[in-house]
Amino acid sequence: MSFAAVLLCGGRSTRMGCDKAFIDWQGRPLWQVQLDKLQQLGPERLLISCRAEQKVGQVFNLSSIASECVFDPPEADDGPLGAITRCLELVQMPLLVLAVDMPWMTVEFLRDHILPGGFFRGPHGFETLCAVYRPDMLPAMQGALRERRLALQRVVEESHPVIHEITTDQSPWFQNANTPAELAR
């Protein structure tokens, strides 16, 4: 299957207290660890979604990793829905989304469970930041943006996806590191 992949790095990281993309994870910046996972899957296009002020092009040395930056518009405060919509509009093919703050996600799980499609759902709802978005979801996503309904949960639900319930064994891979305490565990 042809697909594109995007690493979401544009969050403000307010609970972490510093930009999560640049946190050290086992001796490397977290963005690099996550981007390497996506590269190993062989996407047709590899994107990084971020804010322009993060200076990603300079810091990430994108010329050496064959990636494209998709910047959040400065006036937009549309969160992950806006970022994913912009990337999906750009690539017009299935888009694997991975958040920078999911360091426990593995290449194997992405390849064997996420790429085949559908959305994983746990006790708190759909895992919207580690999933494959289809181009046929664009009209609902664009409509939600226009109406400022920015919750991805509802957009995913309205797309009637194949749903995979997260098992106890799978839940560690979906953990986010939003605070220093969560990162340390």
For 95-135, what is each residue's pLDDT tens digit?
999 999 999 999 999 999 999 999 999 999 999 999 999 99
Cβ-Cβ contacts under 8 Å for 83 (sequence gap 6 or more): 6, 8, 10, 49, 70, 72
Q: What is the pLDDT of residues 149-161, one digit of tens each?
A: 999 999 999 999 9
Q: Which of 31-40, 162-171, 176-185 has maximum average pLDDT?
A: 162-171
Write down the number of H helices and E strands in the chain.
7, 10
Share of the chain above pLDDT 90, in %: 62
Q: Which pLDDT does position 29 carry in this prediction?
A: 84
Helix (H, G, I), strand (E, B) or coil at 111: helix
Q: What is the pLDDT of residue 65?
A: 54
Q: How confident is the model at residue 31 (pLDDT cuts 50, 70, 90)?
A: confident
Report the alpha-carbon distance of residue 47 to residue 97 in Å, rounded: 10
Residue written as token pair 């340390």: 184
Q: Nearest-CA neighbor of 66 among 51, 37, 45, 87?
A: 45
Average pLDDT, the chain: 86
**Residue 124: per-residue pLDDT:** 92
Task: Reduce the DSSP state of residue 179 to 3 states and report it.
Answer: coil
Q: What is the pLDDT of residues 56-93, one digit of tens each?
A: 555 555 544 557 888 888 777 898 999 999 999 999 99
Percentage, residues of the chain above pLDDT 70:
82
- Could you tell me the pTM of the whole model? 0.87
Would you call 92 exposed, middle or buried from its count of C-beta atoms within 10 A (0-12, 13-18, 19+)?
Answer: exposed
**16 confidence band (pLDDT: 50, 70, 90):** very low
pLDDT greater than 90 at residue 2: yes
